[in-house]
Amino acid sequence: MIKNIEIKTNMIQLDQFLKWADVIESGGQIRPLLDEKRIFVNGALCQAKRKQLHSGDIVEIKGIGTYKLIGE
């Protein structure tokens, strides 16, 4: 199931988005997820914690969930 997450800007960085979506509590917590290759953006493996995300992007974190960005 995909959870829709509304953002208030045109763009948000991956680490900021994961905090906004309550997946992580601090930006440093993203490193293990990246190192374990668990984060995919629009189906492609993502290893950049500051990857820019936009409305309509799908973020999947293996073992945690799938999120769709809904923007203004």
Backbone angles phi, psi at 19, to 5 degrees: -70, -45
Q: d(Cα 13, Cα 1) in Å, to the nearest integer?
A: 23
0.85 exceeded by pTM: yes
In this predicted structure, what is the pLDDT of residue 3? 96
Domains of the chain and any CATH numbers: 2-70 (3.10.290.10)
Dihedral angle sign, alpha carbons of residues 44, 62, 37, 58: positive
Q: Does residue 72 surpass a pLDDT of 80?
A: no
Q: d(Cα 9, Cα 36) in Å, to the nearest integer?
A: 29
